[in-house]
Amino acid sequence: MGPSGTALSAKLLNNALFAACTQVTLSALKAATELGIPERAFLDLLADASGGSAAARYIAASGDSAQTYSDRIARYLTKDLKAASTAAADLGVDIGKLLSAARLGPMELGEPVPVTAAPAR
């Protein structure tokens, strides 16, 4: 992947991106329901549509409602965001916009923790 330690950094960034994509997908599912489109029908559509994502596939594969899925996964995503935030700060990398995007949505993924970035190495 790159120099020593980059695989972990890539994993943490991937997890934060997944959290953001999950929030966006859950927001779209909520809007679809409010428009009269059943969750399962919208997830089936996303399987072949340009707006589909790994997040949508995981929600669909779970067989759970969006609410049940989000209730189950939120604690893991919260942990992932905290780990990504800490690692980025330790490395002097600003991922604030990614973390903000991951917290916008129906899941409560914890409050952003102000982290002072360490000087770049």
At residue 1, the pLDDT reads 65
Report the largest interatomic distance among the alpha carbons of the chain, rounded to a whole angstrom.
52
pLDDT given at position 107 = 94
Distance CA 103, CA 37 (A): 25
Q: What is the tens place of the pLDDT at every residue in 6-23?
A: 888 899 999 999 999 999
Predicted local distance difference test score (pLDDT) of residue 103? 92
2: confidence class by pLDDT, cuts 50, 70, 90 = confident
Kindly report the number of other CB atoms within 10 A of residue 99's CB atom. Answer: 21
